[in-house]
Structure 1
Amino acid sequence: MDDIQESTQAATIAALKAERDQLLTLLKALPDISFVLDAEGRYVKVIGGANEAMYASGKSLEGYTLADALPPAVAEACLTHVKQALHTGEMQTLEYQLCVADVALLPPSVRDNDHHQAEQWFEGRALPLPSYDHSKPVVLWVAVNITPRKQVEQYWREAAYTDPLTGIANRRALFEQAEHEIQRAHRHHRPLSLLVLDIDHFKTINTQYGHAQGDEALRQFTQCCARLLRDTDFMGRIGGEEFVMLLPETDQLGAEQLGARIVEAIPTLDVPGMNNEHRMTVSIGAATRLEGEGFEHLLVRADDALSTAKRSGRNRLRVDQAATR
């Protein structure tokens, strides 16, 4: 009976070893790199990574730990998922950013390569390997380079929130940011002002010089305004030639001062192809948030002030006076 049990056990061990060897052979042929990591985060074996355009060889990591090789935050997150996989017996997934040049144990020739200086995105998949011959429990960690996918996601995310002509925020992004700033100003009882800007007689520019020149005028207008803003300010295009500026931590006087600088700066722009006699000007309406006021009402007041600026002859700033009534 003992002989039968020993024979059965030996056959089982041999089958598991053959299965493991088949798995490792398969992994070596795959483009993604894989690691056998033990419960302490030690690299027991590095496998695969045949796609040299996406991965650097990690053989030099064997015998070292995640903490030895990776930046602290990445190493800690990876080790947490290794332990979670061993505890639950189920696959754990983690997305993380890593610059190959920051992997301390790679050879200098690899780390100094220009291709490896850029930040990359990986999806780590940790799955327990119960039959692996090692003194401690291990997982198989497959690192899938998902940088191209992340780049596509970033492109579409920016496209959804960016005005394609000027490169600033579009209407959707502006309104979302405005709600956030309104809530913050309300919560902390801080001032917030709004400027609504409209390029004067812009349709005449398009008619006289053509749409291509009109587009260039819009870009130069945007760049000029952006140079006058602080890092905390937010500018968006909400219509053809209409723009809005969110000015956190800005009272009525601050909004007036900025608006006056913009009115003064725009006519100095020299748009290629446009006659020197034909200078752009801008009309601006300003409003400062009242206690408890939402964005839509604040925008209406700033827009009413803009209408007043246009009726008054354009090329000027008008401020809604609700706060002083």
Structure 2
Amino acid sequence: MDETSPTDQAALIARLKAERDQLLTLLRALPDISFVIDQDGLYVRVIGGANQAMYVSGKPLEGTTLQEALPDEIGRRFLQVVRDALQTGEMQFLEYELGVDEVQPLPPHVRASASDPGKQYFEGRVLPLPSYDHPKPVVLWVAVNITPRKQLEQYWRTAAETDPLTGIANRRALLEQAHGEVERAHRYGHPLSLLILDIDHFKSINSRFGHARGDEALRRFTQVCTELLRTSDRIGRIGGEEFVILLPETDLAGAVSLGNRIVETTASIEVANTSPVFTITVSIGVATLRRGEGFEETLHRADQALSRAKANGRNRLETESAPRPDEPPANG
């Protein structure tokens, strides 16, 4: 068997060291921060993080462990990822949230230097780092800050679910919420009611005072409704001047009580910059979920009640028709 001469061995070692040094030099210049972490979770070395808008200095982590530096659950999760990378020999990927205040070894002046002390989103890329000068196997953990991407995703998600004029749920989002609430009400046998609301003679506001005044009336009406709701209630705009309010854990009497307060409060809303001062009113239909019924059926009965409210003079609330004897409420 051919044996490598001492000269060749020395050359190989020198080449590996040169390659390692080149890699570390490259990592130091990168905007993202990297960590050399051994199989026991020890931070052997912290490299890079040149983008100070995204990272603070991680040097104080050197010599500490994942378990010492991070909250228990995060530390255990990260250590398992390190060991998976070493065991499989393959790169591991994970996304995680982490705030500067959660990293214990960072001194106060380093925490204070953070551009954003809140949660940041990262993509971890973890791969074995062979031939590293350390007694135990190590990985290279590259932490890529993906906060801007996550914020953009959240922006578009919110935009897809939100009515841009009023800031409440749009029709699509309200329907998704409604089906979830109906399923929950049937599963636990709890009451669920809904209101369908229509601002009276809304088109006359636009024609007499302009769309800007009409938009302001919609925003004020939404604000008034929202202030009367519980945190568990859901409101959405499903048409031009038409809204739906979902009321979990609410029977017909509770829904009527809330609806009457909305009718009363709405009548005091003045449309800005109108002369003479113009106030708005609302008509409301109320219905309660029945056993085995879907959202569409309940909404249909509420819409019929709304039609009666309009026919009976508007600025009022009407309830659904009484259920047949074989149609008890969902919690009956």
- Any idea what SS the aligned residue of 1:28 has? helix
> What TM-score results when the alignment is normalised by the length of structure 2?
0.94
The question of whether the paired residues in 1 share the 8 Å contact of 2:95 and 2:122 is answered with: yes
Number of residue equivalences: 325
Range with bigger deviation, 156-165 or 267-276: 267-276
Gaps of 5+ in 2: 326-332
The structure richer in helix per residue is 1
Does the aligned pair in 2 maintain the 1:103–1:111 contact within 8 Å? no
Whether 2:102 is the aligned partner of 1:102: answer yes
Q: Structure 1: which 4+ aligned runs deviate by more than 6 Å?
A: none
Note the alpha carbon deviations across 1:199-243, whole angstroms, 9 max, x for none.
000000111111011111100000000011011000000000000
Equivalent positions of 1:263-274 (< 5 A) are 263-274=263-274
Give SS of 1:268's match: coil
What's the Cα RMSD here? Answer: 1.6
Is 2:143 the partner of 1:143? yes
Q: TM-score, normalised by structure 1?
A: 0.96
Secondary structure of 1:239's match? coil
Q: CA deviation at 1:276?
A: 6.0
* Structure 2 match to 1:152: 152
User: SS of 1:313's equivalent?
Assistant: coil
Question: Deviation at 1:52?
Answer: 1.1
- 2:73 is matched with 73
Contact 2:37 2:138 in 1 (8 A): yes
Q: How does 1:1-325 map to 2 (within 5 A)?
A: 4-113=4-113, 115-275=115-275, 277-323=277-323
Question: Contact conserved, 1:35 with 1:142, CA < 8 A, in 2?
Answer: yes
Q: Identity, % of aligned pairs?
A: 65
Question: Counterpart amino acid of 1:223?
Answer: Q
Query: Distance between the aligned counterparts of 1:84 and 1:232, measured in 2?
Result: 42
Q: Is 2:270–2:277's contact at 8 Å kept on the other side of the alignment?
A: no
Secondary structure of 1:178's counterpart equals helix
User: C-alpha offsets along residues 32-51 of structure 1, whole Å, 9 cap, x if unaligned?
Assistant: 11000111111100001111
1:51-104 CA-to-partner distances (Å, cap 9, x unmatched) read 111111111110001122223332222222111111211111111111113321
Instruction: Work out the CA distance in 2 between the residues paired with 1:233 and 1:303.
Output: 19
Task: Say whether the 8 Å CA contact 1:67–1:76 is kept in structure 2.
Answer: yes
List alignment gaps of at least 5 residues for structure 1.
Answer: none
